[in-house]
Amino acid sequence: MSYLLAILLINLFVLLLCSLLTIAGRLLQQSGRVLLKVNERESEVDCGQTLLASMAQQGTFLPAACGGKGTCGRCQVKIEMGGGHPTALERLQLTPAQIAALMRLACQVRVREDIRVMVAAELMTARAYRARLLRSEPAGPDIRLLSFALDADQRLEFLPGQYMQVVFNQPWERVLRAYSISSAPSLQNEFSLDVQRIDGGLVSTYLHELQPGSVIEVTGPFGEMTLQPQHNETTLVLVAGGVGLAPIRSMIAQLQQHGFKSPVLLFHGARSRENLYFESYFRDLARNFANFCYFPALSQPMLEDGWTGQKGMIHQILELQLQSMPISEPGAAAFICGPAPMMQAVTKVLVAKGLASDRIMTDPFDFNI
């Protein structure tokens, strides 16, 4: 009897504390509306939430690969009025010069008063979309190509190289992950993502198990590594590591539509042949277009792969190839997408071969923060 009473007492106590916290939360919650001005767009938003959430409520979506935890540092905005002082986390993420220039992380700023924010003009084009999965095809052991369709009246306008953020709503938090768009921008009502399943990865596992017909929420497009119209006329070096091929695929699709007017060199590095997806497609492309060259390389080929091509890390292969075909053209540019160490090594090689560092565009894709 005494034990039962003890259990009852514990439960009662927990219930009491929970109700106390809930009531206190309601009473203490800041309510009311404040004015939020983003560039020239002005609207009223709820008070008390983060600036990231307020801006989403207003229709301005910022990249936030970490989902608003303040660890990726991508939701940088300039706050001209309101917003309080930078938090300890922001002081870690931002340099003193950035803080002096009024930069803040939107996910760490609480909206408590009227606030005026400046964001880069290209971020104003990002929107939230509902995307329905059309196809989910395996492309490698852990890689799937997912094709999505938007609602009939929606159009997605992006530049090759940009990425979308997939929103995965858990009951207790909203998880966001960035995936590069791998389809050509000409397909305005559709887009595709190349998703590699990461061990223990929440969103990648969810996307891999998604059935055709399912609807997900995405925001975007984001990203500064983009293929511009002038790139059609210049020599391009495209370097991809593993599933970092996704944005490069979008670029190649665009360049192919223009018939590869100038030389395009694609270097794709993967661990084993299974991970070297789209190999035969690119080999065919290289046969059909004289200006397109394809250099695949495996870092750890297995015996059963029957691999007779290049072996080694992709930056070594790049160095080797560029010895026989130097890039002398002044307008030449490079796009690199892959794990951070690979991008550093490749950048080093390209700079050594005479490519200006401001013409080397990179996009790290390991966002598992």
Residues making contact with another protein (CB under 8 A): 2, 5-6, 9-10, 13-14, 17, 20-21, 24-25, 28-30, 84-85, 87-89, 110, 112
Pick the closest to residue 203 from 77, 367, 35, 39 (CA basis).
367
Whole-angstrom Cα distance, residue 37 to residue 34?
Answer: 10
User: With respect to another protein, which residue has the nearer C-beta, 14 or 369?
Assistant: 14
Burial of 248 (0-12, 13-18, 19+ CB in 10 A): buried
Q: Cβ(207)–Cβ(195) under 8 Å?
A: yes
CB of residue 32 to another protein, shortest distance in Å: 12
User: With respect to another protein, which residue has the nearer C-beta, 24 or 215?
Assistant: 24
CB of residue 104 to another protein, shortest distance in Å: 12
CB of residue 5 to another protein, shortest distance in Å: 8
- Residue 325 corresponds to which tokens in the numbers above? 């075909």
User: With respect to another protein, which residue has the nearer C-beta, 84 or 201?
Assistant: 84
- Residue 202 corresponds to which tokens in the numbers above? 């929440």
Local structure of 9: helix, strand or coil: helix
User: With respect to another protein, which residue has the nearer C-beta, 89 or 198?
Assistant: 89
CA distance readout (Å), 203 to 63, 195, 207, 211, 367: 16, 10, 6, 14, 11
Whole-angstrom Cα distance, residue 202 to residue 175?
Answer: 9
User: With respect to another protein, which residue has the nearer C-beta, 21 or 134?
Assistant: 21
Q: Strand runs (DSSP E) across the chain, as ranges? A: 33-38, 41-46, 76-81, 103-105, 115-118, 127-138, 143-150, 163-169, 174-180, 190-196, 215-222, 236-241, 264-270, 292-298, 310-311, 333-338, 360-364
Indicate the residue type of 270.
Answer: A
CB of residue 54 to another protein, shortest distance in Å: 16
Residue 212 has φ and ψ, to the nearest 5°, of: -55, 140
CB of residue 91 to another protein, shortest distance in Å: 10
CB of residue 88 to another protein, shortest distance in Å: 5
User: With respect to another protein, which residue has the nearer C-beta, 27 or 97?
Assistant: 27
CB of residue 49 to another protein, shortest distance in Å: 12
Pick the closest to residue 269 from 260, 284, 279 (CA basis).
279
CB of residue 50 to another protein, shortest distance in Å: 12
Going by their DSSP bridges, the two strands 264-270 and 236-241 should be labelled as: parallel
User: With respect to another protein, which residue has the nearer C-beta, 47 or 336?
Assistant: 47
User: With respect to another protein, which residue has the nearer C-beta, 23 or 120?
Assistant: 23
